[in-house]
């Protein structure tokens, strides 16, 4: 595997971070960037000129990761030449389907299944229900298929997210990349690090990813009481206080959900993933050290699946909520990951509105889910 990396910053000349001299040899290009910068089609056109034969995967973010640095208002580009691995790609628009499940099902069917070993997915971060998308993918892909990826971001604006495959990015797009061959190895890990507080409450009224009531009370009113003065900043302030959900009272197999929007008239909150009726929910708050330790644990988990051999490439998808909490300390979680994976590993990624991965680094890949507020790492190695 050969890689090269560039960073384009607003108002600055592009800088080469790693020169692989790939050009026409590149197999795939990951371009993670600020939505307003990506709105200029010249960026995509330049990428196509530089990498004429590669799949170009473009995604808007809430912050860009390249090496051990975190950027805003930039486009972070990682071009990769897979020497022993072939790729297949598919894309759909959510507008063409009745729901996110159907979109995921169609994408899974669009990829050839013979020899498929892994699927990477990037999706619009506001118009797609990530939980339903994954369920649809799992239904139409071979059993136990490893799926990782994330939902596009839009900084703290929450206005619009865009994704593109071999064309300028647009709203509502969902993209999958299938990896084929017996010489590609994939590791993954997804860990949070938030502290729960307050009692567990039963989800008594919810539909899909919209929550109405906890313990028979307005969930939005309860949430505002917990947030106090920060309630005026919703939905942005909710990033600091995510929701943990689990199928049974006290169950350790919890998922974390982040609010995308609130509806004052309906007293409802819309999340990036499903809030199942009858599950239990609990509010969470930040713990700086545990967030950084969680990033390190995700890196460790991903390396275990590679028999602790250093990956060639690691794609980090971390949640915007972590970025808002860690602020000036944000690069510490990237440095922790680099320290675990090793300096030979090329690091790329972005801050997202949701992360897609099996729950933990385990042999059971069937529990692939949408997560929020985690550091999710996909590690690639060719042998």
> Residue 337: helix, strand or coil by DSSP?
helix
Long-range contacts of 196-199 (CB under 8 A, 24+ apart): 196/244, 196/282, 196/283, 196/284, 197/282, 197/283, 197/284, 197/285, 198/226, 198/282, 198/283, 199/282
| Contact criterion met (CB below 8 Å) for 202 and 248 | no
Domain ranges for the chain, please list them. Answer: 2-191+290-382, 195-284
Which pLDDT score, from 0 to 100, does residue 362 have? 43
Q: Looking at residue 366, what is its pLDDT?
A: 42
| pLDDT score of 365 | 45
pLDDT of residue 359: 65
The reported pLDDT for the residue numbered 18 is 86
pLDDT of residue 98: 96
Dihedral angle of Cα 21, 25, 30, 31, to the nearest 10 degrees: 60
pTM score of the predicted model = 0.88
Q: Tell me: cis bond preceding 235? Omega within 30 of 0 counts.
A: yes
pLDDT at 180: 98
Predicted confidence at residue 10, as pLDDT, reads 85
- Which pLDDT does position 367 carry in this prediction? 59
Task: Tell me what pLDDT residue 252 has.
Answer: 59
**HEC profile of 103-172:** HHHHHHHHCCCCCEEEEEEEECCCCCCHHHHHHHHHHHCCCCCEEEEEECCECECCCCCEEEECCCCEEC
Q: Which tokens hold the place of 320?
A: 């915007």
pLDDT the model gives residue 259? 82
| 379 touches 302 (CB < 8 A) | yes
Q: Do residues 230 and 301 lie in contact, with contact meaning Cβ atoms separated by under 8 Å?
A: no
Structure token digits, residue 295: 């990033």
Distance between CA atoms of 268 and 282, rounded to whole angstroms? 16
Q: Which regions in the chain score pLDDT beneath 50?
A: 361-366
pLDDT at residue 3 in the model: 97
Pairing relation of β-strands 255-257 and 243-246? Answer: antiparallel
Q: Which residues contact 294 (CB under 8 A, 6 or more apart)?
A: 191, 192, 193, 333, 374, 375
């Amino acid at each position: 595997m050969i890689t090269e990396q560039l960073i384009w910053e607003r108002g600055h000349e592009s800088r080469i971070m790693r020169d692989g001299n790939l050009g026409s040899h590149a197999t795939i290009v990951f371009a993670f960037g600020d939505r307003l910068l990506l709105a200029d089609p010249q960026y995509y056109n330049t990428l196509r000129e530089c990498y004429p034969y590669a799949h170009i995967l473009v995604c808007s973010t809430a912050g860009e990761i390249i090496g051990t640095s975190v950027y805003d208002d930039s486009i972070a580009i990682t071009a990769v030449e897979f020497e022993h691995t072939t790729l297949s790609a598919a894309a759909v628009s959510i507008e063409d389907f009745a729901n996110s499940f159907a979109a995921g099902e169609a994408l899974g069917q669009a990829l050839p299944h013979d020899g498929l070993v892994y699927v990477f997915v990037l999706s619009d971060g506001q118009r797609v229900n990530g939980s339903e998308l994954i369920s649809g993918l799992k239904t139409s892909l071979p059993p136990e298929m490893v799926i990782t990826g994330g939902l596009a971001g839009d900084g703290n604006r929450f206005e619009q997210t865009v994704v593109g495959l071999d064309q300028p990015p647009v709203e509502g797009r969902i993209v999958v990349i299938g990896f084929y061959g017996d010489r590609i190895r994939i590791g993954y890990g997804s860990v949070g690090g938030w502290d729960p507080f307050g009692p567990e409450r039963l989800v008594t009224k919810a539909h899909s990813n919209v929550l109405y009531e906890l313990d028979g009370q307005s969930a939005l009113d309860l949430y505002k009481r917990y947030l106090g003065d920060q309630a005026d900043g919703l939905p942005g302030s909710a990033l600091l206080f995510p929701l943990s959900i689990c199928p049974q009272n006290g169950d350790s197999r919890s998922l974390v959900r982040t609010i995308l929007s609130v509806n004052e008239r309906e007293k409802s909150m819309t999340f990036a993933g499903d809030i199942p009726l009858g599950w239990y929910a609990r509010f969470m708050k930040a713990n700086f050290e545990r967030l950084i330790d969680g990033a390190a644990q995700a890196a460790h988990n991903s390396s275990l699946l590679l028999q602790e051999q250093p990956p060639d490439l690691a794609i980090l998808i971390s949640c915007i909520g972590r970025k808002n909490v860690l602020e000036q300390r944000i690069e510490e979680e990237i440095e922790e990951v680099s320290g675990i994976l090793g300096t030979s590993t090329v690091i790329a990624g972005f801050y997202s509105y949701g992360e897609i991965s099996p729950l933990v680094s385990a042999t059971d890949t069937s529990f692939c889910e949408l997560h929020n507020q985690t550091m999710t790492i996909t590690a690639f190695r060719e042998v």
